[in-house]
Amino acid sequence: MEAAALECPNSSSEKRYFPESLDSSDGDEEGILACEDLELNPFDGLPYSSRYYKLLKEREDLPIWKEKYSFMEKLLQSQIVIVSGDAKCGKSSQVPQWCAEYCLSIDYRHGGVVCTQVHKPTAVQLALRVADEMDVNIGHEVGYVIPFENCCTSETILRYCTDDMLQREMMSNPFLGSYGVIILDDIHERSMATDVLLGLLKDVLLARPELKLIINSSPHLINKLSSYYGNVPLIQVKNKHPVEAVYLSGAQKESFESILRLIFEIHHSGEKGDIVVFLACEQDIEKAYEIVCQEGSNLNPDLGELVVVPLYPKEKCALFKPNDETEKRCPVYQRRVVLTASSGESLICSNTVKFVIDVGVERRKVYNPRIRADSLVTQPISQSQAETRKQILSASPSGKLFCLYSEEFASRDMQPLKPAEMQEANLTSMVLFMKRVDIAGLGHCDFMNRPAPESLMQALEDLDYLAALDNDGNLSEFGIIMSEFPLDPQLSKSILASCEFDCVDEMLTIAAMVTAPNCFSHLPRGAEEAALSCWKTFLHPDGDHFTLINIYKAYQDMTLNAASEHCVEKWCHDYFLNCSALRTAEVIRAELLEIIKRIELPYTEPAFGSKENTLNIKKALLSGYFMQIARDVDGAGNYLMLTHKQVAQLHPLSCYSVARKMPEWVLFHKFSIANNNYIRTASEIAPELFMQLAPQYYFSNLPPSESKDILQQVMDHLSPISTSKKEQMCDKCPETTEQRCSVQ
């Protein structure tokens, strides 16, 4: 994938400054001799700075450092090496540097080093940290690649990337020939992309005997990895300090009250150190943030300032140690209270954390292939996750872990390992990717945990409905083009359909906005009415997809006319919009447009606002999302899904909810089964339009329902009209063979 390059920090080609002792030499003989005695960095040929030696001392204190010789020896002798270590042992930052030294020693004969991460923030921050430790420039010798952001050059030696980006690279470079060492980090997270890479790399290693594979994991997964890859060398790293765990068995029923009590007790105790709180879900983060901020404002200022940091794992953020300059500017002691949820463990990279509070449960998305929807299920975390949270404190000899559950709960109700995402997620995108790499002969994949047959069948069925497969089950021309887009296959199909319906510009905006994080800001209590009043200016009567276009256009207009970036941020703040999300949408849209141009798809000038354009946008949306249709069955806003019997309501922020005018039929982008079964991002569609664009065999396979009967009547009414029109067209132009880009 060609990622749109954002500005990389310190990515200019300018040379680093020499140490201060050299700056004043003025070219005299003593200064020249000092230069000659300096040790040169082999990666860029420049003398090491004084900061390099300072950081080297810190690196040598890491638990993994003592294993360097053993690791390098095994790397030379073996094709696969497994590194087992807890959080904070240094494996994610040091192992890639050692691999870069190995590649340098053989003159990069087989390529450079790539290290995968599950989370975007971790990939970025590790690249920044490692570039600092190696004393090189970020974006040159060391870089990172994450979705829609590339901070690398062709000469980058060591790159950090998210696992899905390396997976996408295999579509154009199946055997990853530009790398001599591949490091798969955070294997214990069990993300789908990492599991796919683990399987595909087995064949790549056979085809490339010179390639080295390093697998970094927590100790809990070692037995499974050993049986999966066979008898391969293992490096085991132990952390320095044991962590004291306090189990509060009675706190689970009233976890919120217990969390608040613990936070304020710690703060009143005067013990220094940041606090990390692991909650069940993002809604709990928002609730806790509001309460702690409110209560914290009433605390005695002599105790220091209580800074509450909400850390959402899906967003591009992470917690790191404040730099020296920040601490100098803040003479008053500040204690950070970090509120995060599941998968936030790897985002905590600060040694200032001294206290961890763990609720022991998480809210997970579990995909149900029968109803094509996610269910939000609250369940205990795994024992491996609990241990990872505990190891956040391993760098602190006085760290304390407060578990809001009993030891009996941990041994009885927690599973040993975290469930693999492949066994709980929608597999449609993964199957599309596997079909694509099958063209290069890598279709077979020995998964560590095989996906459920029902989920695989549903994914294949959906791709068939989307015309991504041919009659033999291989990728069709449509499917090959769809796989070029780093999007959900339904969204890719809508973009392709927009080429036929002359609304590519508008469809790219919609795709960018629904792919980026939520453009609406998290609202503090009491701001709902003011925010709704601001958001009303963007609402579009034809649906939420059109509202997103309005918001993006308003943001673009503001960006073009604003005197400074600060003005844009202020405008977003005043309208309760997430400026970071809108910037991300802008970058995503730019890359999607690049893909459109690269594969030479037709692109028409925008015509947003006309009736014809509105109809065309709905046609394009329906071409991809005909499987996500619902009907208001009672006129009161209770929508029954067309594919199953789940009932849902429109989200309160939907333009229809605000206007209190509920359409009968809607197409929706997202639906999850939870306490509030909300349909998100919905737009009204006509049943006649649905019958014209949905595949006939999809309609035939729908379960019997009143909605299906209504659609059957619509089709019966349309059939004679359609036949008559076709006959008239044939009479007028019997020899016409010109065809447009067919949707199905």
Q: What is the chain's mean pLDDT, rounded?
A: 85
What CATH number does the domain containing 162 carry?
Answer: 3.40.50.300
Choosing from 401, 419, 437, the residue where a domain stops is 419
Q: Is residue 249 located within the same domain as residue 389?
A: yes
pLDDT: which is higher, 152 or 653 = 152
pTM of the shown model: 0.86
Give the E-state strand segments of 60-178 in sequence order: 80-85, 112-117, 142-146, 149-151, 158-162
Q: How confident is the model at residue 605 (pLDDT cuts 50, 70, 90)?
A: confident
One-letter identity of residue 337: V
Are 177 and 163 within 8 A, CB to CB? no
Provide the pLDDT for residue 109: 92
Q: Is residue 205 located within the same domain as residue 255?
A: no
- With respect to residue 608, please indicate whether it lies within any of the assigned structural domains: no
Structural domain containing residue 233: 50-237
The burial of 219, by beta-carbon neighbours within 10 Å (0-12 exposed, 13-18 middle, 19 or more buried), is given as middle
Nearest alpha carbon to residue 667 among 679, 682, 652: 682
| Cα-based distances in Å from 34 to 31, 392, 709 | 5, 42, 88
Q: Is residue 298 located within the same domain as residue 339?
A: yes
pLDDT: which is higher, 472 or 14 = 472
Q: How far apart are CA 559 and CA 548, in angstroms?
A: 16
Highest mean pLDDT among 125-134, 389-398, 522-531, 604-613: 125-134
Strand partners, 244: 400
The first and second tokens of residue 519, run together, are 């453009």
Q: Is residue 265 located within the same domain as residue 162?
A: no
Residue 741 has pLDDT above 70, yes or no: no
Choosing from 210, 237, 264, the residue where a domain stops is 237
Q: Is residue 264 located within the same domain as residue 210?
A: no
Q: Is residue 233 located within the same domain as residue 275?
A: no
- With respect to residue 40, please indicate whether it lies within any of the assigned structural domains: no
Q: How far apart are CA 641 and CA 639, in angstroms?
A: 6
- With respect to residue 66, please indicate whether it lies within any of the assigned structural domains: yes
Q: How far apart are CA 241 and CA 634, in angstroms?
A: 62
Give the 3-state secondary structure percentages of the chain, helix then strand then coil, rounded to 5. 45, 15, 35
With residue 368 as reference, give the H or E element that holds it. Answer: strand 361-368
Are 518 and 582 within 8 A, CB to CB? no
Q: Is residue 267 located within the same domain as residue 371?
A: yes
Residue 209 has pLDDT above 60, yes or no: yes
Q: How far apart are CA 632 and CA 554, in angstroms?
A: 32
- With respect to residue 569, please indicate whether it lies within any of the assigned structural domains: no
Q: How far apart are CA 680 and CA 659, in angstroms?
A: 16
The burial of 24, by beta-carbon neighbours within 10 Å (0-12 exposed, 13-18 middle, 19 or more buried), is given as exposed
Choosing from 176, 208, 237, the residue where a domain stops is 237
Q: How far apart are CA 160 and CA 162, in angstroms?
A: 7
Question: What is the average per-residue pLDDT within 663-690?
Answer: 90
- With respect to residue 744, please indicate whether it lies within any of the assigned structural domains: no
Number of domains in the chain: 3
Provide the pLDDT for residue 332: 53
Q: How confident is the model at residue 632 (pLDDT cuts 50, 70, 90)?
A: very high
- With respect to residue 201, please indicate whether it lies within any of the assigned structural domains: yes
Question: What is the average per-residue pLDDT within 209-226?
Answer: 91
Q: Is residue 252 located within the same domain as residue 205?
A: no
- With respect to residue 283, please indicate whether it lies within any of the assigned structural domains: yes
Provide the pLDDT for residue 485: 95
Percentage of the chain exceeding pLDDT 70: 86
Question: What is the average per-residue pLDDT within 340-354?
Answer: 73
Q: Is residue 254 located within the same domain as residue 233?
A: no
- With respect to residue 304, please indicate whether it lies within any of the assigned structural domains: yes
pLDDT in tens, 527-578: 888 998 999 999 999 999 999 999 999 999 999 988 888 999 999 999 999 9
Angle subtended at Cα 15 by Cα 9 and Cα 18, rounded to the nearest 5 degrees: 110
Phi, psi of 345 (to 5 degrees): -60, -45
Q: Is residue 273 located within the same domain as residue 173?
A: no
pLDDT in tens, 10-47: 444 333 433 333 333 444 444 444 444 679 999 999 99
Q: Is residue 87 located within the same domain as residue 204?
A: yes
Q: Is residue 59 located within the same domain as residue 186?
A: yes
